[in-house]
């Protein structure tokens, strides 16, 4: 399992088969509420920040 600190978000949308996968935000933009998201396998994409949710197990430590 990936470290919750390293990947504190979960991708919520069913885009490119990534729904439910942990991810991290590398860059946030104010324009169009967008961000650059990185996944544990190294894949990156630009998406809406509405597609992200905090992982529930982040504060469980």
The alpha carbon of 16 is separated from its chain's Cα centroid by a whole number of angstroms, namely: 13
CA distances from 55 to 1, 29, 31, 32 (A): 13, 21, 25, 23
Position 3 pLDDT exceeds 80: no
pLDDT tens per residue, range 44-59: 999 999 999 999 886 6
In a domain, 10, yes or no: yes
pTM of the model: 0.81
Number of domains in the chain: 1
In a domain, 17, yes or no: yes
In a domain, 60, yes or no: no
CA gap 53, 22 in Å, rounded: 9
In a domain, 30, yes or no: yes
Closest alpha carbon to 13 in 50, 60, 38, 57: 50
In a domain, 59, yes or no: no
pLDDT tens per residue, range 4-23: 679 999 999 999 999 999 99
Beta strands across the sheet bearing 52-54: 44-48, 34-38, 22-28, 9-11, 52-54
Note down the domain range covering 6: 1-49
């Amino acid at each position: 399992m990936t470290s919750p600190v390293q990947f504190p978000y979960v991708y919520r949308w069913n885009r490119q088969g990534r729904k439910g996968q942990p991810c991290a935000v590398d860059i946030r933009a104010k324009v169009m509420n967008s961000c650059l998201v990185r996944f544990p396998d190294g894949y990156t994409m630009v998406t809406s920040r509405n597609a992200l949710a905090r992982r529930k197990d982040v504060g469980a430590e």
